Amino acid sequence: MAKFGYFLSSEEHGPKELVRQAKLAEQAGFEALWISDHFHPWLDEQGQSPFVWSVIGAVAEATSLPITTAVTCPLVRIHPAIIAQAAATTAALTDGRFRLGVGTGEALNEHIIDSRWPPAEERLEMLEEAIEVMRELWSGKLVTHRGTHYDVDTARLYTLPDEPPPVYISGFGEKSVQLAGRIGDGYISTGPSADMVSMFRTSGGGDKTVQGGLKVCYAADEDTARKTVHRLWPTQGIQGEAAQLLPLPRHFEQLSQMVSVEDASQGSPCGPDPEVHVKVIKEYLDAGFDEVYISQIGQEQDAFFDFYAKEVLPRLR
């Protein structure tokens, strides 16, 4: 049976609020958590971007739910050796409830260290090597690595979990999905594509876990909800590679001027009708996803959790 989790939005909420939402999610019957990992929000309007590892530590103590980063980029902003230490510590703290979701990232977050943003194919090479480095370090052995993209000199992790954290790989194109199938412990996507799920499984993923995520907006009426989505997440209506290439929130704000309310909210269930929410979430189940993570857009968090606990999750189950 599929699991349903809550997607904590680090772009919209500060650390204490994220911990509060994690508690509410567990009380409402959600079975797991996603949390985004950003340095900048997509837009200044979103307004937040706390350091994810501090928040995860607090969430881990506040709830008993499994936690996945959706997703961390271990390429530029933070060296994979440091991500390996952070993930190992988190996995030890949570008694194995942590899964490291990784991807090739966005210039929005990574350019702060190096203004050169590698092309997609190079980033995939970097990601594969980064995962290799992290898994070497999770062995607990003394590691020296001289690679194409990363060097590690006589490094050893001393704080380790009983088992290394699973690595789930995010992918939206053919090459990234095939990489996830070949070397990942699971696959992450934010669209209900049966073709991508199938590609992951036939590329070596087999019966490994596939996680999907979406954003919704519960509100007293559909029109209010759609306007909230358009105000906070017009970036959902931006097509193509721009999300990976633009370096600053103001660039996304400029591009978002061309996004309509309809385009921004397409694919996001809006309003108070539970059947509208259930219908879209079931698209992920029909596409073969094992776990679906839902994020509420905006400030109506308490009302959302009450709505999902009483009206949506029971219908899905």
User: What is the set of active-site residues?
Assistant: 38, 106
Q: How far apart are CA 202 and CA 154, in angstroms?
A: 37
Cα→Cα distances 140→8, 52, 59, 164, 231, Å: 31, 24, 26, 10, 47
What is the CB neighbour count within 10 angstroms for residue 223?
12
What residue type is 3 in one-letter code? K
Instruction: Please say whether the beta carbons of 47 and 28 come within 8 A.
Output: no
Q: How far apart are CA 2 and CA 80, in angstroms?
A: 31
The CA angle 17-21-23, to the nearest 5 degrees, is 120
Can you read off the two tokens belonging to residue 232?
């906070």
Q: What is the 3-state secondary structure (H, E, C) of 21-74?
A: HHHHHHHHCCCCEEECCCCCCCCCCCCCCCCHHHHHHHHHHHCCCCEEECCECC
Query: Hey, is 173 helix, strand or coil?
Result: coil
The CA angle 158-163-168, to the nearest 5 degrees, is 110
Q: How far apart are CA 288 and CA 261, in angstroms?
A: 29
Residue corresponding to tokens 């837009």: 43
Residue 185's closest CA among 87, 294, 60? 87
